[in-house]
Amino acid sequence: MDQLLQHLLNGLVLGGTYALLGIGLTLIFGLMDVVNFAHGEFYSLGAYATFAGLSLADLNFFAALGVAIVCGIALGALTERVLLRPLRGHSIDTVMLVMIGVWISMQNGELLLWGGVAKSIAHPFPTSPLTLGGLSLAPLRLFVLAAAIGLVVGAHLLVHRTRLGRAMRATFQDADTAALMGVRIHRIYTATFAIGSGLAAAAGALLGSVFIAYPSMGDLASLKAFSVVILGGLGNIGGATVGGLVLGIAEELGAGYVSSGYRDAVGFVIIMAVLLVRPSGLFARAERVG
Amino acid sequence: MLKRWLRITVTVGVVAGLVSSLAGLDVARAQAPVRIGVIEPLSGPVAASGNYIRMGAEIARDWLNAKGGVLGRKIDLVIEDNKSDPKEAASAAEKLIVRDKVPAIMGAWGSSMTLAAMPKLEEYGVPMVVETSSAASITKRGNPWIFRISPPSEMEAVGLEQYVPKLTIKKADFLAVNTDWGRGSIQAFGDLLKKNGLQVGAAEFMEQSATDMNAQITKIKSTGGDTLFLTTAVEQITLVLKQAQEQRLNRKIITTGGSSSPTQLIKQAGAAAEGTYHIVFFMPWFPESMPDGKLAKAFVEEWAKRGHPFEGLTEGFRGHDGIMTIAEAVKVAGKDEPTAVRDALWRVNITGVNGPIHFEKDGPAGKESGQSKPSIFIVQIRDGKVALPEFARK
Amino acid sequence: MRRTAGILLALVALTVPFWIANPYFLHVVIMAGIFGILALSLNLLLGYTGQLSLGHAAFFGIGAYTSALLTLRLEWSFWPALPAAVVAAGIAGWAIGRLALKLRGAYFVLVTISFAGVVALVSINWMELTNGPLGLPGVPAPELGSWSLRTKTAYYYLVLAGAALSYEVCRRLIHSRIGRAFVALRENEPLAESVGVDGTRYLVLAAVVSAGMAGLAGSLYAHYTRFVSPEVFLFTYTVTMVIMVVAGGKGTLAGPLVGAVLFTVLPEALRAATSWQWQMLAYGVILVVLVFFLPRGIVPTLFR
């Protein structure tokens, strides 16, 4: 029983990290329809920016996290302005291809800049785990879970309770009408992409300190993010969160009780099963599919 | 009208660019330097290891060149990145052999990469010195162009055998990266344990790029074993140790494969690495204990002088020894011609940073590959430092 | 104009081994041919039915493994192994089609990714069948009677034949009623359904043909490199295919081939032209610039 509980706890923490990856992408992919293959690279950027802040600028951990998020937002805005705005109106595949190019460039740029050796990100939390009976949880992970929840709630509030959020929802529902109503759609697009990238950077900063930072860390992150977003319903922050948790717990239980070699396969099978039953993902609004 | 011109110009421009860059750099056979090909994973999940080996190779090259090179000519390393992709390894081998006309290659780190390049070696008749790959099949496939200086997993297990009773193992579990290396290691060490009448518990795997191993650790915790054999590269070892600490996994941990970089573990895993054992093939913490203490010490000093991270030494030496071996073979052969170099490799008898390098026949008769018998060591992390375990002290 | 260009191209293609003597260049051309077949196959789905498959490497890998296993374990000759590989991949394509059923767009993509993920993991873990990460070395080269097709020149013609066959299949399919149904599906599925075009049936058909073609490429790859390992399922292969199709020009017949040649030669040219640190960075930047200036793809922009 203890083992099961520990697996569930592990899965919860893992799922929280997946959710964090998903909420940024659900804005970019779900709302803007940009197949952002470079999302994982903003994740890596967050981790490396944190590392740089800590080791080069001697900032404290939380300040470095903040810097990382700001970098993500800034670079995201720049990318949108320079590469995506001119291509708006072109086919979704063209945009996807540009983002593939960005992905390759960013990752190899990071490799050139930082080298292939993984970087450890120092954090101020004690390393001995918190224990409750037979269960163990590291304080850092608890912090990451809490931060993830905070970011998810923050993102949800942003989209549903602020003027900016309202403008975003209006733009993505009907850009022309929104423009007529005075919404500066160009700015909204830039802001959305920037926020999504900032969230990815936040995920990278947090998870980079739990794990380690290395140039190809974004690849797996991208893949999980896409799975979580589509599973949870495009554009749905709550859905992405639940999707992340479901995926995390499923993988953990799969690895624990089926086989560690087939761990990711369990996730994939669950995804396929979910889509068979609910073709628009777990929580998408009922829309015509096909 | 403009469109038509644009069309023609772009097409011509693109074609010309491609053709010229492929053909134009078809360097005229450089008479001066002896070129040695190097294929390593310089990007991707094991980029660190690949780069350390490259750094070691560069030290060997510079040392040799400082002493006049080989056959009175300078040594030139032609370095290619195999991106941890067998297809790239094969393409790189082909390019090195055909375009750069190298008489020998060192590579390709991962066993799959090495195996993928092997048909090219046979096709063109060029030898390759294998510096890291551990799959047994590499030297057993009957490829007479392969010469390995790293130990296959079976040899590693044999190297550990003398310490098994001192390690007081009763039941051991395995956690390995899901590659030929990890699997081969589980096989070899599992056989070793069974041969000595010890119990084998769970065998768990992790994907090469996985970062969360909590599920596997939870499972291992419940087997009642007292030892964990861990086989993967240093980044994943760091993560496993940290997560094992978080889950309060209390047991002896032994890492195999030589890629554990204990110094990096101390830095990045901290207290979680305390007490762990590591099978390594180079002990940069006490280089004087190596078979050629002077060479080992000099290597450590040069490495530090170049500002390379200390933790890379446990892998970087492989690059040095590989290049040293090839250079020696060229010297013995008297020319930088592939078949002559291959024949000369059988006559190589030197001592590298790891120890004596001398190839013995391995594999099917008539088509044997060369396998050297490298030195194998075991160290322990104690009090935040690397030390020889009690039982291994002379 | 078109016909003369076509004939000229065919003449050039048929005589390649005679004016490209350097075996490394020939190697690059052979790889370009194999990827050309892959790109054509992906284009059927992406360009014509409008559905993106990001799991296409799975069909490639299934074809490679099937062909390798049949020739290694059951000692089949290459010639029956090749169509077997096509069939095996085609069956997988059928499975995807049935699995995806009513799924379109991003959801279809996710199913293809998941399917590819499962297949990749099976190939790594099912040691008894696939030898897992150790891979299958020593895959035999094809033989024609007593004559081995091991040499690059011979293999080039084999790949050329495969590419020509694939191209012809695509061309026939696209210009037939089926092809028109594909396009109708892509442009406006509900409308197409309302006039009686069964979306799912045609999508499954496209998936089967597309997968089978990828399987053909896989078999050719296996017998050329003579080593198959789970890395054939690497996502980068799928990404490369996507780049070739979209940058070359999706929805055209020549586009994928142009893309395949360009993006096989480009990394190798960069390998020769720059040092290893800059090779892929240059590749990424070139890709971005290319897409920026030719957003509809090379063939549609230059030749329409």
A140–chain B nearest CA distance, Å: 10
Does a structural domain hold residue C150? Answer: yes
Find out whether A179 and A19 touch, Cβ atoms under 8 Å: no
Does a structural domain hold residue C279? Answer: yes
d(CA B258, CA B280): 4
Q: What pLDDT does residue B74 have?
A: 93
- Most confident range, picked from A56-65, A112-121, B247-256, B322-331: B322-331
Q: Name the residue facing A115 among B45, B51, B222 (closest C-beta).
A: B51
Chain C CB contacts of B111 under 8 Å are 134
C60–chain B nearest CA distance, Å: 14
Q: Name the residue facing A14 among B44, B212, B221 (closest C-beta).
A: B212
The per-residue DSSP string of B71-123 comes to TTB-EEEEEEE-TT-HHHHHHHHHHHHHTS--S-EEE-SSHHHHHHHHHHHHH
Label residue B25 by pLDDT band (50, 70, 90): very low
Q: Are residue B142 and residue B232 in the same domain, yes or no? A: no
Which of C229, C238, C240 is the best residue to mutate to test the B interface, defined by the most B CB atoms within 10 Å of its own CB? C229
Domain ranges, residue C76: 21-302
Does a structural domain hold residue A109? Answer: yes
Q: Taking CB atoms and an 8 Å limit, are A7 and B215 in contact across chains?
A: yes
Q: What pLDDT does residue A17 have?
A: 78
Q: Taking CB atoms and an 8 Å limit, are A87 and C292 in contact across chains?
A: yes
3-state secondary structure A66-85: HHHHHHHHHHHHHHHHHHHC
- Residues in contact with C178: Cβ distance below 8 Å, sequence separation at least 6, in sequence order: C202, C205
B229–chain C nearest CA distance, Å: 19
* Chain centre to alpha carbon of residue C24: 21
CATH of the domain at B57: 3.40.50.2300
Chain C CB contacts of A250 under 8 Å are none
Provide mean pLDDT across the span B16-20. Answer: 60
Label residue B32 by pLDDT band (50, 70, 90): confident
Whether the predicted pLDDT of B15 surpasses 70: no
Q: pLDDT tens for residues B349-362? A: 999 999 999 999 99
Provide mean pLDDT across the span A180-208. Answer: 90
Whether the predicted pLDDT of B197 surpasses 70: yes
d(CA C133, CA A14): 27
CB atoms within 10 A of CB A170: 17
Does a structural domain hold residue C5? Answer: no
Cα-flanking dihedrals φ and ψ of residue C29, to 5°?
A: -65, -40
Find out whether C52 and C108 touch, Cβ atoms under 8 Å: yes
Q: What pLDDT does residue C304 have?
A: 67
Q: What pLDDT does residue C107 have?
A: 83
d(CA C42, CA C238): 9
Q: Are residue B232 and residue B173 in the same domain, yes or no? A: yes
Helix (H) or strand (E) holding B130: strand B128-130
Which of B51, B99, B124, B231 is the best residue to mutate to test the C interface, defined by the most C CB atoms within 10 Å of its own CB? B99
Omega before residue C192 within 30° of 0, cis: no
Does a structural domain hold residue A161? Answer: yes
Chains that touch B (3 or more CB pairs under 8 A): A, C
Q: What SS3 state is found at B5?
A: helix
Q: What pLDDT does residue B35 have?
A: 94
Q: Taking CB atoms and an 8 Å limit, are B50 and A116 in contact across chains?
A: yes
d(CA C30, CA C221): 9
Q: What pLDDT does residue C274 have?
A: 85
* CB burial string B184-205: b at 16+ within 10 A, e below: bbbbbbbebbeeeebbbbbbbb
Chain B CB contacts of A255 under 8 Å are 215-216, 219
Specify the amino acid at residue C72: L
The per-residue DSSP string of B300-323 comes to HHHHHHTT--GGGHHHHHHHHHHH
By CB atoms closer than 10 A (0-12, 13-18, 19+), residue B70 is buried
Label residue B31 by pLDDT band (50, 70, 90): low
Beta pairing, strands C136-137 & B227-231: unpaired
d(CA B20, CA B266): 50
Lowest mean pLDDT among A33-42, A181-190, A251-260: A251-260
What rounded mean pLDDT belongs to chain B? 88
Could you say which DSSP state residue B70 is in? Answer: B
Chain C CB contacts of B179 under 8 Å are 133
Label residue B345 by pLDDT band (50, 70, 90): very high
Find out whether A271 and B223 touch, Cβ atoms under 8 Å: no
Domain ranges, residue B170: 155-280
Beta pairing, strands B385-387 & B377-382: antiparallel
Does a structural domain hold residue A178? Answer: yes
Cα-flanking dihedrals φ and ψ of residue C53, to 5°?
A: -110, 115
Q: What pLDDT does residue A12 have?
A: 86
Provide mean pLDDT across the span B46-54. Answer: 89
The total number of structural domains that make up chain A:
1
Helix (H) or strand (E) holding B29: none
Q: Are residue B304 and residue B261 in the same domain, yes or no? A: no
Domain ranges, residue A196: 13-113+137-215
Q: Are residue B52 and residue B88 in the same domain, yes or no? A: yes
Does a structural domain hold residue C138? Answer: yes
The per-residue DSSP string of B191-223 comes to HHHHHTT-EEEEEEEE-TT----HHHHHHHHTT
Does a structural domain hold residue A202? Answer: yes
Q: Does the beta carbon of B214 lie under 8 angstroms from any beta carbon of chain A?
A: yes
Q: Taking CB atoms and an 8 Å limit, are A108 and C280 in contact across chains?
A: yes
The interface pTM score, or ipTM, of the predicted complex is 0.84
Label residue B26 by pLDDT band (50, 70, 90): very low
Specify the amino acid at residue C79: W
Q: Tell me the two tokens of residue A219.
A: 């690849």
Whether the predicted pLDDT of B141 surpasses 80: yes
Label residue B101 by pLDDT band (50, 70, 90): very high
Q: What pLDDT does residue B6 have?
A: 62
Q: Does the beta carbon of B212 lie under 8 angstroms from any beta carbon of chain A?
A: yes
Q: Does the beta carbon of A140 lie under 8 angstroms from any beta carbon of chain C?
A: no
Distances (CA, A) of C154 to B94, C30, C141, C238: 18, 10, 11, 27
- Most confident range, picked from A134-148, B213-227, B291-305: B291-305
Q: Taking CB atoms and an 8 Å limit, are A117 and B51 in contact across chains?
A: yes
Among C148, C274, C290, which Cα is nearest to C223's? C148
Whether the predicted pLDDT of B24 surpasses 60: no
Label residue A290 by pLDDT band (50, 70, 90): very low
Q: Which residue did the predictor score with more confidence, C9 or A66?
A: A66
- Residues in contact with B116: Cβ distance below 8 Å, sequence separation at least 6, in sequence order: B86, B87, B89, B90, B108, C135, C225, C227, C229
Does a structural domain hold residue A278? Answer: no
Q: Tell me the two tokens of residue B321.
A: 């020894």
Q: Which residue did the predictor score with more confidence, B21 or B207?
A: B207
Q: Which residue did the predictor score with more confidence, C102 or A10?
A: A10
What rounded mean pLDDT belongs to chain A? 86
d(CA A33, CA C296): 18
d(CA A203, CA A197): 10
Q: What pLDDT does residue A239 have?
A: 87
Q: Does the beta carbon of C126 lie under 8 angstroms from any beta carbon of chain B?
A: no
Find out whether B153 and B174 touch, Cβ atoms under 8 Å: no
The total number of structural domains that make up chain B:
2
Provide mean pLDDT across the span B50-59. Answer: 94
The total number of structural domains that make up chain C:
1
Which of A51, A136, A207 is the best residue to mutate to test the B interface, defined by the most B CB atoms within 10 Å of its own CB? A136
Q: Does the beta carbon of A116 lie under 8 angstroms from any beta carbon of chain B?
A: yes
By CB atoms closer than 10 A (0-12, 13-18, 19+), residue B139 is buried
Label residue A285 by pLDDT band (50, 70, 90): low
Among A193, A74, A221, A37, which Cα is nearest to C291's? A37
Cα-flanking dihedrals φ and ψ of residue B310, to 5°?
A: -55, -40
CATH of the domain at C75: 1.10.3470
Q: Which residue did the predictor score with more confidence, A78 or A139?
A: A78
Q: Does the beta carbon of A245 lie under 8 angstroms from any beta carbon of chain B?
A: no
pLDDT along chain C (304 residues), means of 10: 79 84 89 95 88 90 95 91 95 88 80 89 87 86 81 90 93 89 84 82 89 96 92 88 92 91 92 85 92 88 77
d(CA A207, CA B211): 10
Does a structural domain hold residue A19? Answer: yes
Between chain A and chain B, how many beta carbons pairs sit less than 8 Å apart? 106
Does a structural domain hold residue C8? Answer: no
